[in-house]
Amino acid sequence: MIEILTDFALASGIYRFMNSAWGWPVAESIHFLGLCLLIGTVGVFDLRMMGLGNGIAYADLHKLVPIGVAGYLLNVTTGTMFLVSAPDQYIFNPAFQTKLLFMLVAGLNMLWFYGSTLAQVKTTAATAAVSNRAKLIGAISLLCWSLIIVCGRLITFFRPPYHWCFWC
Amino acid sequence: MRESGAAFFTSLTLHSLAMALVVGINLAVAFRLLGVAPGIALGPLIRFYTLHWYAAVAIFLSGLALLLAYPAKALTNPVFYLKLSALATGLVLARKIQSTVSKESLMVSGRQLQWIAGFSIALWVITITAGRFLAYTHSVLLASRFF
């Protein structure tokens, strides 16, 4: 696994860029900017479903979500650059593994929302509250993204010993 | 602060969460002012600024804690002052947008508000970038180096 990721990083030029003078901080800046786009659009929509910003039409606010998706794509791209450039610091890091778990939960929660609730939310009047299910989905989404930020900070704050993992 | 892993990590995490919220809300309002999703009612949207100001207080407190942990590291780095200036100006612009929209002020035209929104986005990008570069550009870690 480590070898495959390292080979990809070397062949694609990502490793050379990330190990240049400013490669890592540039990628980190873009990663955090993507996160802010996500929180400012998807997070604000979650808060709206939870009752904040009464008077904003749900369907109108949902039009900002594509910007959040663009932010998410920035995160995935730069996140992949981090991973392939120093795979041993991520693959065996419980904080990274937990971050991926919360990303999976956030993704499943999103599928639940688009599969069952979006149409109903979009037709809800701007001054009315959405269903309890929509509120729950919003709360789960916001909690997941907050925990993803916490785990992301843990990855860089706490570097486990080489190839260390408490459940491996 | 410096020697307590939990205190330092808590401050760092709180700083990141609050920064994401402040920058996120400002970006959402700025995009709306620039014409993205024009159907969003501005009056209710700026109610999110209440949450934004709580998060700004969290940025200040956690930033102060981080500064106290490594004062020489930040205070000797010009990038720290760039971040601080961009952050402060960004918050001033946020207050300007909030008061203009809530009072439906006639002193500021829609075009001027769009310029402010564009400038605000640029300032938040500078704040984030300077914040990330802080960890890579310091030349002094501890003041004890001078003694």
Q: How many CB pairs under 8 A join A and B?
A: 113
- Confidence check: pLDDT of A166 > 60: no
CB-based contact A36 B9, cutoff 8 Å: no
CB-based contact A61 B37, cutoff 8 Å: yes
Pick from B40, B44, B128: CB nearest A33 = B128
| CB-based contacts of B28-34 (< 8 A; 24+ apart in sequence) | B28/A40, B28/A41, B28/A44, B28/A64, B29/B94, B29/B97, B29/B117, B30/B117, B30/B118, B30/B120, B30/B121, B31/A64, B31/A67, B31/B117, B32/A64, B33/B97, B33/B113, B33/B114, B33/B116, B33/B117, B34/B114, B34/B117, B34/B118
Judging contacts by C-beta atoms under 8 Å, the chain B residues touching residue A53 are 44-45, 47-48
What pLDDT score does A162 carry? 55
What pLDDT score does A164 carry? 56
- Confidence check: pLDDT of B105 > 70: no
The least confident of A97-106, A109-118, B95-104 is B95-104
Neighbours of A62 (CB within 10 A): 18
Average pLDDT taken over every residue of chain A: 91
Q: What is the mean pLDDT of residues B20-41?
A: 94
Judging contacts by C-beta atoms under 8 Å, the chain A residues touching residue B20 are 32, 35-36, 39, 43, 149
Mutate to test the interface with A, among B8, B27, B136, B138 (most CBs of A within 10 A): B27
Helices assigned H by DSSP within B34-109 = 42-45, 48-69, 71-75, 78-103
CB-based contact A67 B20, cutoff 8 Å: no
Closest-approach residue (CA) in chain A for B124: A33
- Confidence check: pLDDT of A81 > 60: yes
Domain holding B50, by residue range, is 5-146
What pLDDT score does B141 carry? 73
pLDDT level of residue A115 (50, 70, 90 thresholds): very high
What pLDDT score does A32 carry? 96
Q: What is the mean pLDDT of residues B108-133?
A: 91
| CB-based contacts of B114-121 (< 8 A; 24+ apart in sequence) | B114/B33, B114/B34, B114/B35, B116/B33, B117/B29, B117/B30, B117/B31, B117/B33, B117/B34, B118/B30, B118/B34, B119/B93, B120/B26, B120/B30, B120/B90, B120/B93, B120/B94, B121/B26, B121/B27, B121/B30
- Confidence check: pLDDT of A18 > 70: yes
The least confident of A69-73, A78-82, A144-148, B40-44 is B40-44
What pLDDT score does A138 carry? 97
pLDDT level of residue B142 (50, 70, 90 thresholds): confident
* CA dist list (Å): B81 to A29, A32, B62, B73: 17, 20, 17, 12
A47 interfacial to chain B (CB closer than 8 Å): yes
pLDDT level of residue B145 (50, 70, 90 thresholds): low
Two tokens, residue B108: 């500021």
- Confidence check: pLDDT of A67 > 90: yes
- Confidence check: pLDDT of A167 > 70: no
Q: What is the mean pLDDT of residues A20-42?
A: 95
pLDDT level of residue B140 (50, 70, 90 thresholds): confident
- Confidence check: pLDDT of A14 > 80: yes
Distance CA B29, CA B26 (A): 5
pLDDT level of residue B106 (50, 70, 90 thresholds): low
- Confidence check: pLDDT of B146 > 80: no
